[in-house]
Structure 1
Amino acid sequence: MNPSTAQATVIVDELVRTGVTDAVLCPGSRNAPLAFALHAADAAGRLRLHMRIDERAGGFLALGLALRSGRPVPVCTTSGTAVANLHPAVLEAAHAHVPLIALTADRPPQLIGAGASQTITQPGIFGSAVRLAATTAVATRATGEQAHWRSVVDRVVAAATGAVGGPPGPVHLNAPFAEPLVPDGTAGWPEALEGRPDGGPWTAAVPGRRSAPALPLDPGAATLVIAGHGAPPGLDLGGAPLIAEPSSGYWADGLRAGPWLLGAPAAAPLRPAQVVVLGRPTLHRPVQRLLADPAVAVYAVDDPAGAPWTDVAATVRATGSLPALRPPREWIGRWHAADAAAAAALDTALDGAAAPGGPRLARALLASLPGGSVLVLGSSNPIRDVALAAVPRAGVRLLSNRGVAGIDGVVSTAVGVALAGPGRAYALLGDLTLLHDTTGLVIGPGEPRPDLTLIVLNDRGGGIFSLLEQGAPEHAGAFERVFGTPHAVDLAALCAATGVAHTDLADLADLPAAVAPGPGLRMVEVRADRAALRPGHAALRAAVDAAVGRVVAAAA
């Protein structure tokens, strides 16, 4: 057996022994040893292999698989720019604490800087974004090499899963291979290429959990809890009012109109004495303004896995574990009364003809999804539409790329999420997010195919910018071209080209039938008018503010 084949065989075997069940592979020449080894492991039923032609899409596919399963997932590429195309997924995994393994083939060191084709300096290419970066030595035929190969695999997997301190995250395993790069049909090697006889990893590493002292807050004070992406699960909040972002894991228990209430002019009686922050809230400006208020005591719950606390405004007074909260009943009742009034006003406004399409779609979709499904939310308006308009419910798991909150790779992430578990998966995204990852729709005829429905709100451009400062009327002269970024892509034709079933949904009343469980990859296109977005949101804001004002006046 030639050295490159032996090394790749051992690397893949050890990955399987550490718990890897899925791997993504992008074609190339220098990573041929790993390609043959991964294919053999797939044929033997030891892991499931996913082939993709685009490394960026492959990286996000692996991210989605790891995001839902919690298991480390390697994405294997050849050398050169193929490695650089993994960087967006690596960055998302770093900030979202997802165990992604960038498994990259490389040229031998003597070829670096010598003008060899497809050659760059790969060690350190991801900088501080990875938890660990390791490069194996070029295989020879020395006795004992196998132990070193297995040991380095175990180290990078341990770093990816948080077993060496700190939260889970991406790692980089770079493997230089010398020619020949293909199996030569022989099996001889100085030692048996076998791992531990019990099938376990060479070095077993167990993820640790840390504990922290209780936060020095007043358990009986008027407390508001804010839950963002990556919030530690399973905490007892003692009935305190909760504003939870959809991907926080607490959304089903949160207030329906919480983000609206914080921005209401008449909401002074709802001002908390202290705020407890779980995870990393990023969606709502009223939340950020509250956290920046020096008159409010802000505390951050420590992450047991060691993720850093969020403190954009530098107002956090302490971090620690959450003590038992017992906020005043009158305080809890005040928030729930305001929430009920705001939610009723919101629904009335959403039923009106002038309501923006995104919030209406989000409300209808969450009400239509079958129990036990998983929904991936796009990073721009879709996740905000769900947060602002949908009725929180249990039985649907909500996921999103909120680590860096980019729109790239969302289709591939959703495909990975769908492939990582049983049941129907869904994704709510905008048209630009879809177009940014059209290669995510390209799945080979022999590859595992997801049961995934993509619900695409098509307003032919960048809708979120209509709601920001640049969408104000005084910027109309420049807005449409440089922020609205209009396009004329026919999504039905795109689906036809990639073999994706397409439904053009004209009436939200037909949405339950369109998202009914079924096999395969499908797209439901919902058209909307981007020009109505800014005034539509202003109308929703006015309706909620008026309702909150009436509740506050009645309680005074």
Structure 2
Amino acid sequence: MTASPATDWSVAFLGQLVAKGISHVVVSPGARSQALALAALAWERASEGALTVHVVIDERSAAFRVLGLALESHRPAVCIATSGSAPAHYFPAVLEALHAGVPLIVVAADRPGELHGVGANQTTNQHELFGSRVPSWSVSAPEGSDADDAQRIATEVAATAYRGGPAYVSVSFREPLSAAIQEGSLVMPEIVAPERAEPTGDTAEARVLSLEPEAGTLVIAGHGAGARAEALALELGAPLIAEVVSGARCGPHLVPAYRQVLRDESLTGGVGRIVTVGRPTLSREVSSLLGRTEITQIVVQGRELEAANPSRMAQVVGEVVVIRPATPEESALWVKPWVMAGRRHQEAQLVGIMPPAPDIEALTSNDPATRSAFATQEMNVLRQPVVRESLALAVWEATWPHDRLVFGASRMVRVADSIVPGKNIPVFANRGLSGIDGTIATARGIAQAASATGVTRVLLGDLALLHDVGSLLVEPGVGDSSRVHLIVANDGGGTIFDELEVSKVASQKDRDRVLLTPHEVWLEALAGAYGWTYRRVNHLGDLAEALSASDARLIVDVAIAR
């Protein structure tokens, strides 16, 4: 025990979280939470690498950093804040975690009961701060040694978070707010992460549906679907419609350029059964198909809060078991027309976007004029301006399984979804609520949790960058081997609204002011202020060089015409 019950409680609580496999804690500074912050550092030293502490000044950025850490590590991460308005800044990330089912633990220090209701500084009602849907624990100010109670609460919190989604703890502390923790006083516990409890009762998660292959079946993979969707498509002998953020955009049954294919009634008219995995959010064509009540709709719901059920008639289950795999003949008969149609549409899309293949024979020709013409042709290619489609394709092509690719919730994720081919690479995006906030912070968390040695590339718009610019801040003097490259499609504002309904009802002047929200931010100066390397891209040649850069932290400013 120390002279501070706050410190004793914090040491016990965080030690039990470490024992449950928690490996990342993100601290934002504050006086009332100092015992938690100092205890986190003590456990980091005692854990010999099992626990890493990150310090992020802004709580909104901190919570999205935790979100990214959890997305990559597949286990809860913890953020710690002081009392008052501080934990309220966690709200956007908590909502994203709630809707996407990302494990996240929020711990906020609070003032003791005697300071509530008397106008005390930095004091508000923090009970159930995030609403009734977020499991919450309110802990009265510890008195003496409450180690057993702290460990019990930590066990409950960890078990809740491991099931998916956020968990929130508000703990009151009285003075003395901290005491010294003696070196060597912490004994590293055995780390045993909780096993995920088997679902029980008549919940969607507990329902298992057995299916046989059947002509007319379509598998749709939305955000969070993962490899299971691609496996289901193979087992059921079904075409696979996979969003770029699904984690399933690969395999022989993948339908490229799916939006154009879904507009073809000669194909969609034969659909009688749809199995949706994850939560699609990127195209109206998919949303329209999922709303058709004459089609048998089956949704495999994972950790996401709400099932993808626009028809309100879908059978929502936790797992689909295929009784027998489709035969090659069954698959070819139904799948081949879809895949071939997709490939034709994709080839048509690429005409005019991708430069023609070089004439290699011209390079080795004995005719100087032929060689000169070849060099001129190649230089013209390199000098072509970058358009959204070529940017999406280039970033996709540059990313490999040891890398990470993060999409901001901007126009570019939809462009990528419409054009990039199949490729089995790790892709992330905050699609629980699809906000542009926290994109950089999330990506930095993903990069720091990744064991891979590759690059975490972030494809985002200029407004998404500006919305989360504080997340560029780097903690000085702390080792960080991660590499994060921000590829910014800089078209001068929120041009996605040029493609939405508002473009037909409002003047361009009004749209520009309240929706496009143009800016004149000098991104090179911004990058320099935060210690990031900066590259300006005006042409395809510049882009190729930027995507092969080895910088630890890089902002690639890509000029895109509105």
TM-score, length-scaled by structure 1: 0.86
Shift of 1:199: 2.5
Match of 2:190 among 189, 199, 205: 199
Aligned equivalent of 1:257: 257
Letter in 2 for 1:261: V
Match of 1:122 among 123, 126, 138: 126
Match of 1:472 among 493, 504, 508: 504
CA distance in 1 between partners of 2:494 and 2:316 (Å): 39
Change (3 A) 1:294 1:371: closer
Q: Secondary structure of 2:233's match?
A: coil
Asked whether 1:229 is paired with 2:223, we answer yes
Change (3 A) 1:334 1:356: farther
Contact 1:277 1:301 in 2 (8 A): yes
Change (3 A) 1:217 1:236: closer
Q: Deviations over 1:461-485 (max 9, x none)?
A: 1021111111237643421111111
Q: Deviations over 1:82-110 (max 9, x none)?
A: 01000001001111111111011111112
Shift of 1:510: 3.7
Aligned equivalent of 1:549: none
Q: Deviations over 1:124-160 (max 9, x none)?
A: 0001342x21122311125xx2111100001001000
CA distance in 2 between partners of 1:333 and 1:463 (Å): 37
Shift of 1:231: 1.8
Q: Secondary structure of 1:252's match?
A: coil
Aligned equivalent of 2:464: 433
Asked whether 1:47 is paired with 2:47, we answer no
Equivalent pairs counted in the alignment come to: 512
Aligned equivalent of 1:350: 353
Q: Secondary structure of 2:511's match?
A: helix
Match of 1:174 among 149, 156, 170: 170
Q: After the TM superposition, which residues 495-510 of structure 1 pair with which residues of structure 2 at under 5 Å, given as runs?
A: 495-510=527-542
Change (3 A) 1:267 1:473: farther
Change (3 A) 1:220 1:185: closer
Q: Secondary structure of 2:470's match?
A: helix
CA distance in 1 between partners of 2:38 and 2:427 (Å): 36
CA distance in 1 between partners of 2:169 and 2:185 (Å): 20
Aligned equivalent of 2:519: 487
Aligned equivalent of 1:446: 477
Q: Deviations over 1:176-215 (max 9, x none)?
A: 110011315789xxxx9878x96357xx742124475654
Shift of 1:268: 4.9
Contact 1:220 1:328 in 2 (8 A): no
Change (3 A) 1:409 1:186: closer
Deviates more, 1:91-100 or 1:322-331: 322-331
Aligned equivalent of 1:241: 239
Change (3 A) 1:5 1:489: same
Change (3 A) 1:519 1:11: farther
Letter in 2 for 1:35: A
Match of 2:108 among 98, 104, 108: 104
Q: After the TM superposition, which residues 231-310 of structure 1 pair with which residues of structure 2 at under 5 Å, given as runs?
A: 231=225, 233-234=227-228, 235-238=231-234, 239-253=237-251, 254-264=254-264, 267-268=266-267, 271-303=270-302, 308-310=306-308
Shift of 1:528: 0.7
Q: Secondary structure of 1:251's match?
A: coil
Shift of 1:308: 4.6
Contact 1:216 1:318 in 2 (8 A): no
Shift of 1:217: 5.9
Aligned equivalent of 1:399: 428
CA distance in 2 between partners of 1:502 and 1:374 (Å): 20
Shift of 1:508: 2.3
Q: Secondary structure of 2:232's match?
A: coil
Shift of 1:363: 1.0
Change (3 A) 1:346 1:90: same
Q: Deviations over 1:244-291 (max 9, x none)?
A: 112212112332211221135x65566412211111111100111111
Q: Deviations over 1:444-497 (max 9, x none)?
A: 212343311110100011021111111237643421111111111111111011
Letter in 1 for 2:499: L
Letter in 1 for 2:291: A
Match of 1:417 among 446, 450, 458: 446
Shift of 1:175: 1.4
Change (3 A) 1:11 1:92: same
Letter in 2 for 1:285: R
Change (3 A) 1:328 1:72: closer
CA distance in 2 between partners of 1:362 and 1:306 (Å): 27
Aligned equivalent of 1:208: 197
CA distance in 1 between partners of 2:419 and 2:242 (Å): 13
CA distance in 2 between partners of 1:393 and 1:278 (Å): 18
Q: After the TM superposition, which residues 361-372 of structure 1 pair with which residues of structure 2 at under 5 Å, given as runs?
A: 361-372=391-402
Asked whether 1:334 is paired with 2:366, we answer no
Contact 2:267 2:338 in 1 (8 A): no
Shift of 1:222: 1.3
Change (3 A) 1:176 1:339: same
Q: Deviations over 1:206-244 (max 9, x none)?
A: 212447565476622211111101226433323411111
TM-score, length-scaled by structure 2: 0.85
CA distance in 2 between partners of 1:432 and 1:465 (Å): 13
Aligned equivalent of 1:4: 6
Change (3 A) 1:351 1:256: same
Aligned equivalent of 2:414: 384
CA distance in 1 between partners of 2:533 and 2:181 (Å): 43
Contact 1:222 1:328 in 2 (8 A): no
Letter in 2 for 1:511: L
Letter in 2 for 1:387: D
Aligned equivalent of 1:153: 154
Aligned equivalent of 1:58: 62
CA distance in 2 between partners of 1:87 and 1:373 (Å): 29
Shift of 1:514: 1.5
RMSD over aligned CA atoms reads: 2.6
Letter in 1 for 2:148: A
Give ranges in structure 2 of 5+ residues lacking alignment: 200-204, 356-380
Contact 2:273 2:295 in 1 (8 A): yes
CA distance in 1 between partners of 2:40 and 2:186 (Å): 16
Q: Deviations over 1:47-101 (max 9, x none)?
A: 1111111000001011101111112110000001101000001001111111111
CA distance in 2 between partners of 1:363 and 1:174 (Å): 46
Letter in 2 for 1:417: I
Shift of 1:4: 1.3
